[in-house]
Chain A
Amino acid sequence: MRNSEKNKKFSGTGGKMISRRGFLKGVGALGLGLAAASSLGKVASAQPKGPVKLSLWTWENPQQRPWIHKRVKMFMEKNKGVQVDFQWFTFTDLGKKVSVGYATGTAPEGFSTGTWLMPTWLTRNMIAPMDVKKLGYSSLQAFIDDYPKAFIASAVKGGKVYGYPIYFYGFINYLNTNHFKEAGLDPVRDQPKTWEELGEVAKKLAIKKGTKFERQGFKFAMHAAMWTMVQFNPILHQCGGSWFDKDGKCTLNSQAGVRAMTIRASIIRKYGAEDPADTIATSPLPMMDFLKEKTAMFSTHQIPPAAVKSQNEKMAAEEYYRPVQMPGVDPNKRYPSAYGFNFVINVNASKEKQEVLHDLYQFIMSDLIDCWKDTQPFTPARKSGWADDPQVKGFPHLDEIIKARDNGVFLPETPIYNELADIIHQAVQRVTLDNADIKRTLDEAAAQVDKASEEFKTKKS
């Protein structure tokens, strides 16, 4: 009562001069009043049940992101009661943004993730299991049968599905067919089937003047840890190696690991067909050396025709490039790393929103022909429902692309994936750029990996 009487004076209604004290008290009261009004407003606005609002984050890609966005808009048009806040981030930033989102309580209800990060989310119980029936499958087995084995390795745990697949692909070896012909080689018959053959062919394709390569025979990517992992992983498996033993100890420095790293370095050390320091590749365009014809062969995911055209119109018009399978240690076991992207659901999302996300994800992936048309040659993860369509079949060398996806091995499943990738990337740099001793480098790397995974081993035990 006293306050309200005073407030009258402060407002000037009492006809008195406003004192300094009065002014400040008035400002304070006004502030408190506004704060109270705004908080009441929030409560009031939260009471009536409105549309379901949820956020979906995904990665940026010139083809894939616009297509997903298009499908999200279509879903909202069909479901007026759903509002999706669609946001996207660069490929490398998405995981970090999501992590920080969880820490600050601002993580999206749904997000897409690289399949290699699935163990990171799962170890920390950050994502919710999904109902395969709500995703259109009659049973878990029907779901498993519809995807490549490498995908299932990352998305299905303990009989539960944690990721709904969007894209999944394996690395392939792109050849510049003109370079092959110039060197008197046939791109199909002489395609390297083993790593030794790759070295020999690369040697024939390379053109060197002094210390400078006019053309490198083959290039391993050196620009990012993720690419180092994708390229080294199958060689390690082909040599009979593994990243960890059953107790979680890193076995990278095993005999198989040393052999794999020797193969990895052989194009430089043994065949002299590659210069790891000479590259114009960047994270947005890792295949730049190939597109600018600075290397005759390059191991990569599918290259969209638009990307070829943007960098080398002649190459795009004359189509003198083609993908073949990656080499193997055994010519009959040629396989790459396979990886892709999943939709997942934030474990903290309400049940209602989780239900809507199931519908949204199923809707986005319900028209795979549309997906292919907009984002070719990135292969949808699902085996059925698109590859036999005449509109898809006409794409050059699609069989090679699908074969790589289906035969690919998955990246190491570990909650310290990013740390492991950085350690391997550094090891590869030391071996290839500094000519470091392979065994000693791998011993050091394995010790670092063990140190990094220590806390998870402790938790497990």
Chain B
Amino acid sequence: MITIGRSQVSISPWKLSYGSRIQFWGILFILPTILFFMVFKYGPMGWAIYLSFTGYDIVTEPKYIGLNNYISIFQDPMFLQALNNTLVYIVGSTIAITVLGLGLALIINTGIRGARFFMSSMFLTNIMPILAVCLVWRFLFHPHGLVNQLLAPFGLGRIDWLTNSNLALPAIIIVTAWRFAPYFMVVFLAGLLAVPKEIYEAADIDGATWVSRFFRITLPMISPIVFFVIVVSALLCARIFLMPFIITGGGPGGATRVLSMLIYETGFSYLKMGRAAAISVVLFLIMMCFTIIQIRLFSKGEEH
């Protein structure tokens, strides 16, 4: 009951029209979810954005400092290096995941013997615990580890995968592709299976080669899937944390320190939470760009 002037206007839900009552109940039912997101998602996000304009050391009260954190991080070589690493990692991993995932899907789609077993065993890389994966790869990439031993017959000498600043990030990209490509292989495979066989049959009659079939039929037909994989894997890679954290600890010389690691260290190790929040906002904007691209591509795809 709401009082307006001297008159009382009843807005009790029980006296609403049928349509309004449906809406009322609908809102009531989704209210817990809305509250959940407000408290655990949008609330912290808003709080992080606020903190990015403050000097906050976790312990004392946040103090408003305007854009200082943003100005400061863009003058900080550690941040610029992490930003560069993150972008290189996103681009490198996305290309590797897409090419490898599509390649594997094409192989399986040929209907080779043992395809199901091959697919299942490949998918295992995606469900293995990340900690175990990272520790195993640390041993594999050891200067005298299995990777170098396998490469030795090809005349490649000792490669310091994880301790050379030019190779450490590519090594992490290799592990990322190894882990996630099989997952996206399944996505590609679904797309490949949806391509009508008649088109290939017609192409065969016209004497199309395997290459022209791939570039003129397969790729155009599954292009929405390709875009989907590119955007989703880029988003996935933008958030990467554990792999470089466990495998190299961000080293050597910060060569594998990505933004998410820098956020963690800045906030919880250096106790500069305001600054960490500013870096988070930058990472959020990067991911937002990918999300906007994804939304636009999908809306175009739907129109198509």
Contact = CB atoms under 8 A, between A and B. Distances in A.
30 contacts: A96-B268, A99-B268, A102-B59, A103-B58, A103-B59, A120-B271, A126-B59, A211-B143, A211-B157, A211-B158, A212-B158, A275-B143, A277-B160, A277-B162, A278-B143, A418-B270, A419-B269, A423-B78, A426-B254, A429-B163, A433-B160, A433-B163, A433-B164, A433-B252, A433-B253, A434-B165, A434-B253, A448-B77, A448-B78, A451-B76
A315 interface: no
Contact of B265 (A223, A416, A422, A429): A422
A434 B269 contact: no
B215 interface: no
* Among all A-B residue pairs, the 9 with the closest Cβ atoms: A277-B163, A430-B253, A429-B252, A103-B58, A96-B268, A429-B253, A418-B269, A433-B252, A419-B270
Nearest to A458: B55
A100 interface: yes
Nearest to A224: B249
Given A418-B270, A433-B163, A100 B253 contact: no
Contact of A434 (B142, B158, B164): B164
Interface of B: 14, 55, 57-60, 72, 75-78, 142-144, 157-158, 160, 162-165, 249, 251-254, 265, 268-271, 273
A96 B269 CA distance: 6
A239 interface: no
Nearest to B58: A103
A425 B251 CA distance: 9
Nearest to A124: B59
A374 interface: no
B143 A277 contact: yes
A434 B252 contact: yes
A443 to B, nearest CB: 12
A418 B270 CA distance: 6
Interface string A399-437: 000000000000000001011001101110110011010
Given A100-B268, A433-B253, A276 B163 contact: yes
B261 to A, nearest CB: 11
Interface in A223-240: 223-224
Given A99-B268, A212-B144, A448-B78, A426 B251 contact: yes
B77 A444 contact: yes
Interface string A209-226: 001100000000001100
A426 B253 contact: yes
A21 B165 contact: no
B59 A99 contact: yes
Interface of A: 21, 95-96, 99-100, 102-103, 120, 124, 126, 211-212, 223-224, 275-278, 416, 418-419, 422-423, 425-427, 429-430, 433-434, 436, 444, 448, 451-452, 455
Contacts of A430: 165, 252-253
A455 B55 contact: yes
Nearest to B13: A21
Contacts of B77: 444, 448
A264 to B, nearest CB: 15
A377 to B, nearest CB: 29
Nearest to B12: A21
A455 B165 CA distance: 31
Nearest to A419: B270
Contacts of A276: 163
Nearest to A107: B59
Contacts of B249: 223-224
A161 to B, nearest CB: 21
Contacts of B164: 277, 433-434
Nearest to A441: B253
Given A433-B165, A434-B252, A452 B270 contact: yes
Contacts of B162: 277
A424 to B, nearest CB: 11
Contact of A100 (B58, B78, B160): B58
Contact of B60 (A95, A124, A224, A448): A124
B82 to A, nearest CB: 12
B269 to A, nearest CB: 5
A258 B258 CA distance: 29
Contacts of A455: 55
Given A211-B157, A451-B76, A99 B252 contact: no
A436 B164 CA distance: 11
Contacts of A448: 76-78
A99 B157 CA distance: 46
Nearest to A99: B58
B158 A102 contact: no
Nearest to B60: A124
B296 to A, nearest CB: 39
A99 B271 contact: yes
Given A103-B58, A212-B158, 8 more contacts: A96-B268, A99-B268, A277-B160, A423-B78, A429-B163, A429-B253, A430-B252, A448-B77
A333 to B, nearest CB: 31
Contacts of A427: 253
Contacts of B57: 124
A95 B57 CA distance: 14
Contacts of B157: 211
Contacts of A96: 268-269
A451 to B, nearest CB: 6
A102 B78 contact: no
Taking each of A278, A418, A426, which has the highest tally of chain B beta carbons within 10 Å of its own beta carbon? Answer: A426
B10 to A, nearest CB: 15
Contacts of B160: 277, 433
A427 B265 CA distance: 17
A278 B251 CA distance: 15
B251 A429 contact: yes
A124 B60 CA distance: 7
Contacts of B253: 426-427, 429-430, 433-434, 436
A280 to B, nearest CB: 8
B270 A102 contact: no
B299 to A, nearest CB: 40
